[in-house]
Amino acid sequence: MKNSPCVVRRAKVDDAPALRAIRLEALKDTPEAYGSTYEESLRWTSRQWRKVAKTRNYFLGECQGVVRGMASGGYNEDRPGTWWLYSMYVSPNERGTGLAQQLVDEVVAWARGEGATELHLHVGSRSARARSFYTKLGFVERGDVIEMDRDPSIGLHTMVKTLV
């Protein structure tokens, strides 16, 4: 893995166009990895993207002034007391550079700052490369698999990383 020349930073409201672009890229590249679809997200207004950039906890990986990756972290209301890594993606040209790890590290740091002792994620059954990546970063499969809401043929494996 090369050292990434990229910078990871928290998204701001003004990042809405860049967040939209990277999210749409992710949905086209690996649609099976996300709970929403390209078509749904394409219909969002600029106001909706600005709200997401303002209210959700997104981190952007910027390489030479262009956003090439994203990840978000959040508290899961459906599973009280748990913090989650959501929406992880890195553009194909930046894979293997360390950007993905930088993005995860930022979400881990955020979760620790929130008092989390574990960070959870769901990874799709069709995403062997992602599962391997998360395993290398210390995430462990819990053994439970749930169906993806929008496509029940995709199983979502729960993985957890201990943060203490």
pLDDT one digit per residue (tens) for the chain, 164 residues: 556 689 999 999 999 999 999 999 999 999 999 999 999 999 999 999 999 999 999 999 999 999 999 999 999 888 888 999 999 999 999 999 999 999 999 999 999 999 999 999 999 998 889 999 999 999 999 989 999 999 999 999 999 999 98
Dihedral sign for Cα 156, 161, 163, 164, please: positive
> Residue 75 has what DSSP assignment?
E
Which domains does the chain carry?
7-162 (3.40.630.30)
124, 130, 133, 138: CA torsion to nearest 10:
-20
Residue 67 and residue 58 in contact, taking contact as beta carbons nearer than 8 Å: no
Strand intervals (E) in 55-108: 58-63, 66-75, 83-90
Q: Indicate the pTM of the whole model.
A: 0.93
